Amino acid sequence: MPFVRARDLVVHFAFDGPPDAPVVLLANSLGTNVHLWDEQIEPLAASRRVLRYDMRGHGLTTTANGPLPTETRVEELADDAVALLDALRIARASVVGLSIGGLVTQRLAAAYPQRVERVVLCATGSRIGTVASWNERIATVEREGIGAIVEATMGRWFTARTRAERPELVRGFSAMLLSTPRAGYVAGCHAVRDADLRTDDARITCPALVLTGEGDPTAPPDVGTALRDAIPNAEFALITGASHLLCVEQPAATNAMLLRFLEDER
């Protein structure tokens, strides 16, 4: 269970794959941890050094001193990711991010182009949701705790079919969400609420792939195609039978897209 100091954080991370292979960094969604990507590790690690980490206020990552703050910004989360790469002496990486992780990935590619080979932007957009919806969620979690949003969140994360046919999976991800520190979750909500990366997207020069779940209510297909159009060198693909956590619901289709796109860099 490795940890490393990066900026004001003690970051929990995990490595898989050959030590001398090209690095791919995986950035999680809000309310999840490194296990979000479990189904991607075996295929990716066959030819790449796969780096997962718990973002600020999530999983086992915590502050080096003092309590977790209840506010952050996508820019700060991107700086955290670069600090992690620095701490692990990684000069460049391809980056795959989902939801808020996709926002972080967009910012990384725009602000730190020398560190990024190519990006995959999953279940995300230049903006996600509305200020009013995020304020409502923040207020609910601050007032009642994360338990008050579990059912609604599972309804966004997974299709009705998955919820009916794979209750153990949904139960496990409910537990993952509930294990997220309240302060870290609220801070992440602030970051997504305040993020508008349209200017950053126009500055991205590396190859980009946008992946969207066919039934994702959080970042639906029109949001994904708008993101593709905002990035100069981007392509778009739809993952059928998936909602927001497309890498969990449809791992085979997601992995095929990741491997095809990342193979182009070799």
Q: What φ, ψ does residue 237 adopt, rounded to 5°?
A: -140, 145
Dist. CA 124–CA 127, nearest whole Å: 8
Q: Above 50 in pLDDT, residue 266?
A: no
Long-range contacts of 256-260 (CB under 8 A, 24+ apart): 257/120, 257/209, 257/211, 258/40, 258/43, 258/44, 258/96, 258/120, 259/43, 259/44
The number of distinct structural domains making up the chain is 1
Upper half-sphere CA count for residue 191 (Cβ side, 13 Å): 29
In percent, the amount of the chain with pLDDT more than 70 equals 99
Could you tell me which residue, 266 or 118, shows the higher pLDDT? 118
Q: What is the mean pLDDT of the chain?
A: 97
Q: Above 60 in pLDDT, residue 168?
A: yes
Report residue 265's pLDDT band, with 50, 70 and 90 as the boundaries: low
| Residue 49 pLDDT | 98
Dist. CA 136–CA 185, nearest whole Å: 14
Q: Above 60 in pLDDT, residue 148?
A: yes
> pLDDT of 37-91, one tens digit each?
999 999 999 999 999 999 999 999 999 998 888 899 999 999 999 999 999 999 9
Q: Above 90 in pLDDT, residue 16?
A: yes
CA-to-CA dists, residue 103 to 23, 88, 227, angstroms: 20, 22, 11
Question: Range of 125's domain?
Answer: 3-263
Q: Taking the CB of residue 10, how many other CB atoms lie within 10 A of it? A: 14
Task: Yes or no: say if 245 and 217 are a contact pair by the CB < 8 Å rule.
Answer: no
Residue 3 tokens, joined: 């940890």
Kind of pairing between the strands at 62-63 and 9-16: antiparallel
Dist. CA 2–CA 12, nearest whole Å: 6
> pLDDT of 197-239, one tens digit each?
999 999 999 999 999 999 999 999 999 999 999 999 899 999 9
> pLDDT of 170-199, one tens digit each?
999 999 999 999 999 999 999 999 999 999
Q: Above 70 in pLDDT, residue 131?
A: yes
CATH number at residue 231: 3.40.50.1820
Upper half-sphere CA count for residue 12 (Cβ side, 13 Å): 14
- Locate all alpha helices (DSSP H) within the chain, ordered by sequence: 38-45, 74-87, 100-111, 131-144, 150-157, 160-165, 167-178, 182-194, 198-202, 221-230, 246-249, 251-263
Rounded mean pLDDT of 10-32? 98
In this prediction the pTM is: 0.96
Task: Yes or no: say if 26 and 40 are a contact pair by the CB < 8 Å rule.
Answer: yes
Residue 149 tokens, joined: 């949003």
Scored b (16 or more CB within 10 A) or e, 229-242 reads ebbeebebbbbeeb
Report residue 97's pLDDT band, with 50, 70 and 90 as the boundaries: very high
Segment (H or E) for 235: strand 234-239
Task: Yes or no: say if 249 and 164 are a contact pair by the CB < 8 Å rule.
Answer: no
Q: Above 50 in pLDDT, residue 35?
A: yes
